[in-house]
Amino acid sequence: MGFIKKLIGWGILLAVIIFGATVFINWLGIQIRKSDLLKKIEELNQFYASGTYTREKVWREITNYIEEKDLDAPEDEIIVQKTPQYSIIQVTLYDSLVIPKKTFYFEFELADTEDVK
């Protein structure tokens, strides 16, 4: 009977470790995708500020990046809203094992070309 209890205990411990590792890997993936998207937005904002890209070109590049990186996959929800003054990208990244969903809002204002010297 003692052997069975030990076996069950080790089984539960192993299950907890595997579940924890899965959640950590998912969290790490979310952080990487979030960081990459922020870098891309900053890069595009610099192109806009320098006058190299127009506002519409920036939005095309963001859309292409989202499709290229598969951020618009069924498990990710990307909402891009455009306004004349500012722009918001809402990204919801989640895995079926992580509850609640992780939602990130990226708000950025495209720099005016007059601000660049």
Phi, psi of 53 (to 5 degrees): -115, 145
| Residues above pLDDT 90, as percent of the chain | 10
In this structure, the number of other CB atoms found within 10 A of the CB of residue 48 comes to 20
Residue 114 clears pLDDT 50, i.e. is over it: no
**Whole-model pTM over 0.75:** no
In this structure, the number of other CB atoms found within 10 A of the CB of residue 10 comes to 10
H-helix or E-strand spanning residue 102: strand 102-108
- Nearest-angstrom CA–CA distance, 88 and 47: 18
Report pLDDT digits (tens) over 58-76. 777 877 887 787 665 555 5
Residue 4 clears pLDDT 70, i.e. is over it: yes
